[in-house]
Structure 1
Amino acid sequence: MHQQLPQTIALKALDPHQNATVVTIGDLIIPETDTPGAKAARVNEFIDLIVAEWYDQEEKSTFLTGLADVDRRSQSSFSKDFVDCSEKQQIQILNDLDEQSRVESEPTVRHRARNTASEEKPFFSMIKQLTLIGYYTSEIGFVQELHEEIIPARHAGCAPLSAEASK
C-alpha cells in the first residue's frame, strides 16, 4: 500500500515519514473507488498546511503526538512502522484508534477527565475531520465526488417568486 510520493511541496509541519503516514491514513479513510481518493486530492498537503498555519501549539502537539502514537502502536503490534504494515494491519490500528476516540469523546469520560487535563480532541477525530474537509473542499472531492460546480455558470439572485410559493 505504501508508495514513495514525489515531494511536490515543501512540507511545513510534517517530516517526510509523518507525511507518508498521513497519506496512508487518508487513503484508508477515503480510498480510491470510481472516483479518486484522498491521496489523489493531495489531502496530506492540506493537513500539513492546517497543522503548520492554523493549529495552535496545543493542537499541533496533540496531532504530532497522535501521529507518533500510530507508529508506536504499529511497532508494538507488528514490529514495523505503520506505512510498512499490510492494509489489514493498518485498518486494525485505525479501528482501535477510532474506538478509543469514541470512548474519549463520551460526555462521562470528558467530565471525569476535566479535572486533570484540558479537553482536547482525540488525534483520530482530528485526522478524520481534516481528511474529510481537505477532500471535500478539493476540486476532486467537490467536482468528481459531489458533482458540484466550484463556480456556478450563472447566479439568478433576483428571481421572481412564483404565485404558488408566495402562499
Structure 2
Amino acid sequence: MDRREVLRLLASTAALSALPLEAMQAIHHASAKVAKSYTLKTLNPHQNATVTTIAELIIPATDTPGAKGAKVNEFIDLLLTEWFEPSEKQEFLAGLDDVDARTKAKFSAVFVSCTPKQQTELLTELDAAAMEFAAAQKKTLQTHAAPPPQNFFYQMKKLTLAGYYTSEIGFSQELGKSIIPPEHAGCAPVKGAA
C-alpha cells in the first residue's frame, strides 16, 4: 500500500481501528522511524511548539505519557515531510497560522503564549467546526457529492491519534497491546468442519 493511499484512508476513516492492516503497518513504521533520533524537517520551532501543545491538549499525560511523550509532533513532521503533497503540507501549515491568527484576535497572543484555559477555549471552537466537517464528509460519502474542503483541526486530531496509538507509548502502555501476539492458535480445527 502506498503512502498516498494510507493518507487517503486516514483522512476518510473515523476510527483507527477501521484502517486496513496494511495502512496501520505503514503508520506504525512511520512512528517507529520517529522513535529513533529525529530532526524536524518541515516544522519550524514555533510551528513545532504549536503542534506539540495542541497534540498534548488532545491526548494529555495521565498515568501514561501523553502526545508529547509519544513524540506526536515528530510523527506529524515526518508525515508532512515525506508523505504529504506540497499543497497538502502548505494547507496544514496555513491551518497552524490560522490558529495563531485566531488567538491573536481573541486573546492578543499566539497560541503557545495563551493560558491553558484560552487554548482549550479555542480548541473547543475548532473542534465544533471539525465535527461539522466530519458530518459533511460523511454525507458526501453517502451522496457521492464533492468533498468539503479539508478542516485543519479534524486532520490534526486524526494525525495526533494515529501518531499516539501507533507509538510504543500509545500501543503498549496506553492500550496494553503487544506487537508480538502472546499466543498462536496455529492449525486449530474449525468447529463444524468435517
- Counterpart check, 1:85 vs 2:114: yes
**Which of 56, 67, 79 matches 2:96?**
67
Question: In proportion to residue count, which structure has more helix?
Answer: 2
Partner residue of 1:13?
A: 42
Amino acid at match of 1:160: P
- Counterpart check, 1:35 vs 2:59: no
Shift in Å, 1:10:
1.7
* Cα distance in structure 2, aligned partners of 1:16 and 1:93: 21
Report the number of matched residues: 152
Q: Secondary structure at the match of 1:41?
A: coil
TM-score (ref. length: structure 1): 0.82
In the alignment, is the contact (CA less than 8 A) between 2:49 and 2:112 conserved in 1? yes
TM-score (ref. length: structure 2): 0.71
Shift in Å, 1:102:
2.5
The higher radius of gyration belongs to: 1
* Aligned pairs for 1:41-52 within 5 A: 41-52=70-81
Q: Any gaps of 5 or more consecutive residues in structure 1? A: 1-7
User: For 1:118-156, what per-residue CA distance to the aligned partner results, in whole angstroms no more than 9, with x for missing partners?
Assistant: 743200011000000000000000001110001224433
RMSD in angstroms over aligned alpha carbons? 2.2
User: For 1:82-127, what per-residue CA distance to the aligned partner results, in whole angstroms no more than 9, with x for missing partners?
Assistant: 111111100011111111222344439x97xx88xx7432000110
Q: Secondary structure at the match of 1:32?
A: coil
**Which of 155, 162, 170 matches 1:141?**
170
**Which of 101, 106, 109 matches 2:130?**
101
User: For 1:10-49, what per-residue CA distance to the aligned partner results, in whole angstroms no more than 9, with x for missing partners?
Assistant: 2111001100000000100000111111010001110000
Which consecutive aligned stretches of 4+ in structure 1 deviate over 4 angstroms post-superposition?
A: none
Shift in Å, 1:54:
0.7
**Which of 54, 79, 101 matches 2:83?**
54
Amino acid at match of 1:29: I
